[in-house]
Amino acid sequence: EVQLVESGGGLVQAGGSLRLSCTASGFTDDYFIGWFRQAPGKEREGVSCISISDGRTYYMDSAKGRFTISSDNAKNTVYLQINNLKAEDTAVYYCAGDSSVPFVPLNWRTYEYDYWGQGTQVTVSS
């Protein structure tokens, strides 16, 4: 059984940084992990994605520069580093994983991932 567990959220002042973690278990094939977020009253949006097999990374346009996705394959953990946090980054952040295909699909932001974590709250105070 695949499980994804997020951690690292919290309350932080604008301009600060956070590193979110997504620890995966149960995958038996190559897989990819996406980070998503959902702010109150808004639709969920894909922030970033990484292929565990080759390390390729993908970002939504507005995330380039402040967000960095990385993985520690020995720990089965994917990280999302967020710098210079802004009030508009306030959201519940989720990680999602899939191994149906051995590569990150072009539509990774709208792809129907098989597995989701429970989410971690990030609140940025201004």
Q: What is the pLDDT of residues 48-103, one digit of tens each?
A: 999 999 999 999 999 999 999 999 999 999 999 999 999 999 999 999 999 998 88
Whether the CA torsion 67, 83, 124, 15 is positive or negative: it is negative
R_g of the chain, CA atoms, integer Å: 14
Chain CA centroid to CA 68, Å: 10
Task: Return the pLDDT at 102.
Answer: 82
Task: Return the pLDDT at 107.
Answer: 95
CB < 8 Å & 24+ apart, contacts of 58-62: 58/104, 58/108, 60/109
Mean predicted lDDT score pLDDT of the chain: 96
Q: What is the pLDDT of residues 19-56, one digit of tens each?
A: 999 999 999 989 999 999 999 999 999 999 999 999 99
State the Cα–Cα distance between residues 30 and 101, nearest whole angstrom: 8
